Structure 1
Amino acid sequence: MRIGIIGAGALGGTFAALLARAGHDVEVTARGAGLEAIRGGGIRLSGGYGDAHVHPAAGDRLTARPDLVLVCTKAQDAEAAIAANADTVDGATVVVVQNGLDGVATAERLLPRSTCLGMLSIIAANYTEPGSVRVTTTAASYLGRGDGEPDEEVRRMAALLSEAVPVVAIPNFRGAQWTKLVVNMLNAVPAIVGRSVQDVVDDRALRRVVAASMRETVRVGMARGIRFGSLQGLGDRRLRFFARLPLALGQLLPWSMRVRMGDVPNLGSTQQSLRRGQPTEIDFLNGAVVREAEAAGLDAPVNRALVALVHEVERGDAPLPADRVTAVLAATRRSRRNRPAGAAPGRRRR
């Protein structure tokens, strides 16, 4: 099959290497040093899926009409990247492999003749050198669309992709996007302090902040009427139970994720963007929680503070000290103490 991959970074490079190794005709898009490296020496994959060295066609846009397209850009780059390739890919099956909540809707708007699906990937991969990807944690990816059961096209694409890498067709994809958003709360704090996800979760004070951002995300999702989808052992019942726990017990959730992750240092995608000097997708992760909270008439003070800290690191040249992060919870508690009598917990003052 002819497969186009828009965005050959950590995940895009991983899928490109695995699909090419499985015998598919793969073309990728990249920019700058990444494009030069792929044109000159291909994509080198190492780590959890074994070693592969492939030489896909590469350019700043796709040149051949594909049968299948994977959109693997950062969330903030998706609209421009899809629009730049629309004349070539509209009409193909499009799979958006992306964090956040808006990727599939963006693709559907820009590609009206395409069947657009979403895929959630839990694969952890480090891409800190152009053209080279190391998979630190292997995992299944989850394919679907909408709120219902997986349809025939979803099942067909999952079977095809599974020839190269495990992909599972799932129901309630929108709810699963929210579950992945909870998982992605592991990104912000490591990026702010410049440490691996494992190091952050091993630090009790920082782990409390991660747990607080996760709990806030679940509570916002509940306020928005979300039924959380099943993903990596997480599902609606478990997350709703977690949302009711005191923070001391809620820390078990990020800890359980850290155990599954293993000991190979995982930088998280947000920190990798910072190390490459690129904008992060924090506005589509923790920032999405803030926007969804506002839509529900709520506040999300922990996630709002983490967004501001990540942007502070983006503007500077060094990570911030850990006490800047741990102060987030103290500030949240002060805000609650100063809330006028009778105000609903978590609601904005008007």
Structure 2
Amino acid sequence: MDISIHRPEELSTPLRGAWHRAMDDSPDYGNPFLAPEFAAGVGRHRGGARVAVLREHGEPVGFFPYERNSLGVGRAIGLGLSDCQALVHRPGVTWETRQLLKACGLSVFEFDHLVEEQKPFGRHVTGTFASPAIELKDGDGTYPEWLRGAYPGLAKTTLKKERRLGRDLGGMRFVYDERDPGPLRTLMRWKSAQYRRTGRMDRFARPWIVDLVDQLFQVREEHFKGVLSVLYAGDRPVAAHFGPTSRTVFAAWFTAYDPELRYYSPGLIMHLRMAEAAGREGVRLMDLGRGDKEWKDWLKTRELRVGEGFASRPHPVAAAHRLWRRPVRGLRNTVLAHPALRQPADRLLKTVGGLRTSGAPGSHGTRPKT
């Protein structure tokens, strides 16, 4: 096995084509977060982004995107943003983990959404978790007819709320692939406010994430497209979602709605509208991402499995990194797995968020660009 290292945004057209073919060869690698376009997008904003290209008999057969810091600590590319991670390879290809890490100059590689199929990383997985998903089909008839067939338990209440929202604010309109960037700015503002309100880290206070989303919004390729979906009442956006889509998989990513309208359940309406529209576009799976949420339980039709852990080779830096990161992850997973712990933690975060949002102007961090 020959391994060469490249900047993801500098991969040649033939190598990108080989990567796309590896995605097509297995349903495990159909997720858009595994596409070279996502790796290239991160690479334009993260100096340590790299791709290891694995070759057999001179032919590229595998692609391993990652980020590396100056100490040789590695992480899945876009860790914290990506909901699917893997070494994308042709069928039958295998590798030796220590050899791979050495070729990449890594003492340790951290992941948290690893595709279950990745057997060579298997002994380094410290936990596996459900990633709820919706199997999609071509819609027959109108959206209400699709909804009644796919989700009979949700249809009556959801359609009633949507009709009420239309009466109160204006006629309802859903755009699956909105090309006007204006609603994208609105989505970022809503999401930043939600992060602060719930005490979470505001991702859109980080300029590189704002720039990455702006860039991915412009990508219109066969294996990767940045899709902005918007639900309108009259001319007013009431909910929006931005996420990447491949030929077969729609990745739920950033969803937000006008908090003044939360009693209409605009977020739920948005996801149901997206599922119906994506199915009509030929997409076959909507990956809702790892996480325990009631609305995901309502919508899911199956569960994928993803792993987290640390692949490493003997090195003091690897040992130190695991000692630092594993307790943090363990505590987080324990809280998320037990409602009796998760609910008080959520209340505490919301209290902190309330104090943060009620503070003096300028205390909220950097706002998204307008």
The structure with the largest strand share of the pair is 2
Q: Structure 2 length as normaliser, TM-score?
A: 0.29
Which structure exhibits the higher relative contact order, with contacts defined as CA atoms closer than 8 Å and separated by 6 or more residues? 2
The structure with the largest helix share of the pair is 1
Q: Structure 1 length as normaliser, TM-score?
A: 0.30
